[in-house]
Amino acid sequence: MVFFKANTMGKFIQLTEVGPRDGFQNIKQPIPTELKIRIIDHLIAAGAKNIEITSMVSPKAIPQMSDAKQVIAHVLEHHPTITPWVLVPNNRGAQLAVENHISHVNYVISVSPAHNSANINRTHQQSLDELAVIRQAHPDLEISLSLATAFGCPFIGATSTDTLLEMIHFAGDLGIHHITLCDTIGVANPLQTADLLQRVSARFPHLDIGLHMHNTHGMALANMMAGLQNGVTRFETAVGGLGGCPFAPGAAGNAATEDAVNMFSRMGFDCGISLDALLEVSALIRESIEPALLSSLSRARTYREFDFYPPQR
């Protein structure tokens, strides 16, 4: 029998789809804006309500995101009931997001100082100072703080839990309540995940803690299961298992949305997303963008062939 925290039982599982940002930015060939929009439309039709649709970054740094304004305009006009998230690297990005009527942004700091320097060319203190500037300049903006390399770094190996806790404390003092722990290079194991979550929740029981797991070592779903057992009901995933990290050599893609929906739904949890419709989105991506998707279900004949038992919990 599997045991879950009392505050997890019967709860809705929120999956934030990050494929249109985290997934697409790692694809080298330009993706037509019309195709990005089509994929986002299909994800929403499948039931996705929280989607990281793009990032407000320099087109020189990440050309794939140069159509951010067009993507945002389409989503806001045609899908007013969903929550679109936009990644912002600095206050300039946050200002652009606000000017384009975005109310939810994601800000990233790496727990590893080496990765933070490679990724955004900042020290920890500079990143924290910039977060404070964003909070002060945009008090009505919903900010989620993603802590990259929370479980390990390609440059220095193990990262400091004390540093991570200090960053969460800093964000909490700014009134930021959404914190996502990111396994940027996919090296976490379930016991490590459980231990870190227990340390975080013991110190910050009032915060909304989520997980963003990569599947480099094939343990993304196992780590998400450890998260669920420790009270986490918010996860970031990417359709098809898209993604990676340009500053994390060897990192595989994100936990695949379709694999996560399959696991949670078989366990009796509701994600609000149609698995059949999601697999159609994966097929579209495979045919038009990336033929070698990393998700398990995208390679299976059909998930229904092996769905022998009713959901249990």
Catalytically active residues are 245
The DSSP code sequence of 44-98 is HHTT--EEEEEE---TTT-GGGTTHHHHHHHHHHH-TTSEEEEE-SSHHHHHHHH
Say how many C-beta atoms besides its own lie within 10 A of residue 167's C-beta: 22
How far apart, in whole angstroms, are the C-alpha atoms of residue 282 and residue 22?
15
The DSSP H or E segment spanning 260 is helix 257-266
Q: Which helix (H) or strand (E) holds 23?
A: none
Any idea which residue has 């793009």 for tokens? 54
To the nearest 10 degrees (0 to 180), the angle between helices 91-99 and 124-137 is 30
Tokens of 287: 């045919």
Distances (CA, A) of 255 to 36, 241, 295: 20, 5, 8
CB of 46 within 8 A of CB of 273?
A: yes
Q: Which two tokens stand for residue 173?
A: 């003092």
Amino acid of residue 54: T
> What does the chain come to in residues?
313
Q: Cα–chain-centroid distance for residue 88?
A: 14
Pairing of strands 14-17, 178-183: unpaired
